[in-house]
Amino acid sequence: MKKFVCILLALFLLAALPLSCRAEEINGVDVSGFTGDYDKFKGQNITINVYNWGEYISEGSDGESLDVNQLFEELTGIHVNYLNFATNEELYAKLKAGGADYDVIFPSDYMISRMIEEDMLEKLDFSNIPNYANISDNFKNMEHDPNNEYCVPYMWGTVGIVYNTTMVEEVPDSWDALWDEQYAGQILMFSNPRDAFGIAQFKLGYSVNTTDPVEIEEAAAELRNQKPLVAAYVMDEIFDKMGGGEAALAPYYAGDAITMMEENPDLAFVVPKEGTNLFSDAMCIPKGAKNKEAAELYINFMCEGPVALANSEYIGYSSPNEAALALMDEEMRNNKIAYPDEGVLDNTEPFLNLDEESNVLMSNLWTYIISSNDNYNQLVMPAFVLGAVALSIGINVARSRRRKPK
Amino acid sequence: MKAKSPAYPYLAWMIIFIVAPLLIVAYFAFTDKTGAFTLANISQAGQFSPVLLKSVYLAAIATVICLIIAYPLAYILSRTKVRTQRMLVMLVMLPMWMNFLLRTYAWMTILENNGILNRFFGLFGLGPFEMINTQGAVVLGMVYNYLPFMILPLYSIMEKIDGSVIEAAQDLGCSSMGVMRKVVLPLSVPGITSGITMVFVPAVSTFIISKMLGGGGNLLIGDIIDLQFLGLDYNPHLGSAISLVLMVLILLCMSIFNQFDNEEAVLL
């Protein structure tokens, strides 16, 4: 009998062992240290809509990285409907046009302040996001969200010049390099107006958040002068173009520069001495989100050290999450491109939302810069329309005349 | 009367997906942010007339090139054996099975300074030629992407031309040029018209080709409209106004063109 009980007990223990393991580990990730009420929504069949930048989450498609969304689904039983946008403006247009129903969005700094101003964001309940404690103090009380009410920082980085060392002799440590005639036709430029104007403003020594129309006009004049030297205005195409040695110089984001340098070892990255833009993207909940609490659970989950680490490693951008930094390997942690020295960071300025007038002015100037290449005669278009109408009438008249003799 | 009732679903479809969106565009074009009536958007759209003109010009060039390439091809196609015809038509359609963006992206790698073409020329010590980021590249992109839309209507019209009509002309002593000019050309006019419409209209309003192949510094009217929605300031009113102006302009071009078309039919 004793023996039987012993065997039974042993069997029971054996059976319990894998069970307890499974609770601690999902898909090879140790979740025992996770803080948050992840069981709360189990079995309720809830779906949250997450709207993020393209390629901006660790999604496991390369076989090595962690599938963050899948882990969240298995941990909480909440289904994640994951969707992508390409620019802050696209996100804004989608929300503004209505009809869209998102629970978590990932806007950048200036877009966050714009959305706060226009009352498009929900205040977060930080008691549901205990992992907010993991966020470094450097990324709290930021100018776009001074009271830490609306957003939880996700990634950050700087803008600098990516250059091809086989085509550029000296280190282009000034924004002037992008106006250097010797690189004519080998310079790429942002096709995003805010970033492009930012560079011209740093070059001129103005604030990137200036609302002085004269300063904005001057920056536009700089960009117009630069246009003959620019090979192309790009965003994501830069990966192909710099990777393939199509251009010598291009301003871009530090995290993407690291990715490019892995593919093409000839490339290097430098932050110009005039200073640069410090950008940060954060997680927010838009007004009217259907599952606010589940969305906060998702945000909390994204702040777990191992999750934030997986995202940062996959994307290549810098993480504001100290728990992730503690887990990060030395090489990445000491990468001066991703985590620059204080001196570099002191000389940065984040984008803030501009007032409506400045936005319209900048947008008009930008449209003019990239769509016109010569002085244009105001009369051409009316003349064209008149000509077309005259031709149309002429044909009709000629035809009816020809018919008449019949 | 009998024929009408099956048409109702199409009518509903057209109202929901064609008429209603057009009305919404018109509504946005004539209102400002507060919803009040204004003509400011339309007059503001006028500042983009050089871009509009450039778009019309490039699209016209692309259309003419498409016609020149497609016409003989469609004729040859329509005169081959039925079995070969099927295969050739499928070949014409083949590129369309791939995504439009992907095809344009592929042209980017072909045309680039270190691209496939320049490397090929480099083997013979030629080049490198500057091909990407030019207006020529934009026209090439349009021709490549819209060529099937020219070939298919031409082919389907020419296929219906009775071979005996051509034989009759030949029997009556018409030269081969004469057959082409006096028989095939007039009979294929409807195909030419629809082909030109199907190429010109999307080419005028294209917005991704100029961005990818034209270097982004040479935007067309489609890109400008895109910018109004996804640019720095979200302005659907101006965007709609430009679209409306573009639509009117295209209608104008088409009506002129159709008159030419009738003219020809009357003359010949």
Q: Which of residues 196-255 of A touch B (CB under 8 A)?
A: 227, 230-234, 237, 240-241, 244-246
Q: Does B237 contact chain A (CB < 8 Å)?
A: no
| Planar angle of CA B190, B194, B200, nearest 5 degrees | 140
Distance from CA of B169 to the nearest CA of A (A): 27
User: So what's the ipTM on this one?
Assistant: 0.81
Tell me, what's the pLDDT at A28? 75
User: Considering only CA atoms, which of B71, B75, B223, B198 is closest in space to residue B145?
Assistant: B198
CB B215 to CB A87 under 8 A?
no
Q: Which amino acid is at A288?
A: G
Tell me, what's the pLDDT at A21? 41
Write down the architecture of domain A18-156+281-338 according to CATH: 3-Layer(aba) Sandwich (3.40)
Give the dihedral sign, CA A141/A82/A91/B100.
positive
Higher pLDDT, A13 or B85: B85
Distance from CA of A178 to the nearest CA of B (A): 16
**For an interface test with A, which of B232, B238, B261, B263 has the most A Cβ atoms less than 10 Å from its Cβ?**
B232
Tokens 């219906």, located at residue: B160
| Gap between the Cα atoms of A143 and A214, Å rounded | 25
Distance from CA of A255 to the nearest CA of B (A): 23
Average pLDDT for A105-123: 93
- Work out the percent of chain A whose per-residue pLDDT is above 90: 58
Domain limits, chain B: 49-267
Distance from CA of B210 to the nearest CA of A (A): 11
Residues in a beta bridge with B37: B31
Strands A79-85 and A348-349, how do they pair?
Answer: unpaired
* Phi, psi of A123, deg, nearest 5: -70, 140
Average pLDDT for A326-338: 90
Helix (H) or strand (E) holding A116: helix A109-117
CB B233 to CB A360 under 8 A?
yes
Domain A157-278+356-371 has CATH 1.10.3720.10: no
Domains A18-156+281-338 and A157-278+356-371 share a fold: yes
SS (H, E, C) A50-111: EEEECCCCCECCCCCCCEHHHHHHHHHCCEEEEEEECCHHHHHHHHHHCCCCCCEECCEHHH
Q: Which of residues 123-162 of B touch A (CB under 8 A)?
A: 130, 132-133
Answer yes or no: are the C-beta atoms of A369 and A224 closer than 8 Å. Answer: yes
| Gap between the Cα atoms of A103 and A371, Å rounded | 37
SS (H, E, C) chain B: CCCCHHHHHHHHHHHHHHHHHHHHHHHHHCECCCCCECCHHHHHHHHHHHHHHHHHHHHHHHHHHHHHHHHHHHHHHHHCCHHHHHHHHHHHHHHHHCCHHHHHHHHHHHHCCCCHHHHHHHHCCCCCCCCCCCHHHHHHHHHHHHHHHHHHHHHHHHHCCCHHHHHHHHHCCCCHHHHHHHHHHHHCHHHHHHHHHHHHHHHHCCCCHHHHHCCCCCCCHHHHHHHHHHCCCCCHHHHHHHHHHHHHHHHHHHHHHHHHHHHHHHHC
| Gap between the Cα atoms of A355 and A212, Å rounded | 11
User: Considering only CA atoms, which of A339, A321, A320 is closest in space to residue A330?
Assistant: A339
A48 Rama sector, left if φ>0, alpha if ψ -120 to 50, beta otherwise: beta
Q: Is the pLDDT of residue A18 over 50?
A: no
Tell me, what's the pLDDT at B265? 53
CB B249 to CB A385 under 8 A?
yes
3-state secondary structure at position A276: strand
Higher pLDDT, A176 or B122: A176
- List of E strands, A165-275: 187-190, 230-234, 249-253, 267-270
Tokens 């003959």, located at residue: A228
| Angle between helix B135-159 and helix B189-204 axes, rounded to 10 deg | 150
Tokens 């100290």, located at residue: A322
Q: Which of residues 54-73 of A touch B (CB under 8 A)?
A: none
Q: Is the pLDDT of residue B253 over 70?
A: yes
Q: What is the DSSP letter of A124?
A: P
- Work out the percent of chain A whose per-residue pLDDT is above 70: 90
Residues 6+ apart with CB under 8 A from A93: B229, B230, B234
Give the confidence band of B47 by pLDDT, cuts at 50, 70, 90.
Answer: confident
| Ranges A287-296, A366-375, B26-35, B156-165: which has the least confidence | A366-375
Average pLDDT, chain A: 87
3-state secondary structure at position A383: helix
The tokens describing B266, both together, are 């009357």
Distance from CA of A354 to the nearest CA of B (A): 10
CA A347 centroid distance within chain = 21
Residues 6+ apart with CB under 8 A from B149: B66, B195, B198, B199, B202
**Burial class of residue A254 in the structure, from the number of CB atoms within 10 Å of its CB (0-12 exposed, 13-18 middle, 19+ buried):** buried
3-state secondary structure at position A185: coil
N- to C-terminal Cα separation, chain A: 121
Tokens 């016209």, located at residue: B60
Chain B residues with beta carbon closer than 8 angstroms to that of A372: 50-51
Answer yes or no: are the C-beta atoms of B130 and B124 closer than 8 Å. Answer: no
Q: Which amino acid is at B166?
A: I
Chain B residues with beta carbon closer than 8 angstroms to that of A246: 112-114
For A29-66, how does the pLDDT look when each residue is reduced to its tens digit (9 = 90+)?
Answer: 788 888 888 988 888 889 999 999 988 999 887 777 88
Q: Which amino acid is at A52?
A: N
* Phi, psi of A286, deg, nearest 5: -75, 155
Cβ atoms within 10 Å, residue A397: 10
Answer yes or no: are the C-beta atoms of B63 and B199 closer than 8 Å. Answer: yes
Average pLDDT for A251-278: 92
Average pLDDT, chain B: 88
For A356-394, how does the pLDDT look when each residue is reduced to its tens digit (9 = 90+)?
Answer: 899 889 988 998 888 876 545 556 666 777 777 787 787
Tell me, what's the pLDDT at A20? 42
Average pLDDT for A299-328: 93
Measure CB to CB from residue A399 to each of B53, B216, B263 and give the nearest one: B263
What is the gyration radius of the CA atoms in chain A, in angstroms?
Answer: 27
Domain limits, chain A: 18-156+281-338, 157-278+356-371
**What does CATH list as the number for B49-267?**
1.10.3720.10
pTM summary value: 0.83
Q: Is the pLDDT of residue B68 over 70?
A: yes
Q: Is the pLDDT of residue A257 over 50?
A: yes
Q: Is the pLDDT of residue A117 over 50?
A: yes
Q: Which of residues 30-69 of B touch A (CB under 8 A)?
A: 46, 48-53
Distance from CA of A201 to the nearest CA of B (A): 17
Chain B residues with beta carbon closer than 8 angstroms to that of A371: 48, 50-51, 218-219, 223-224
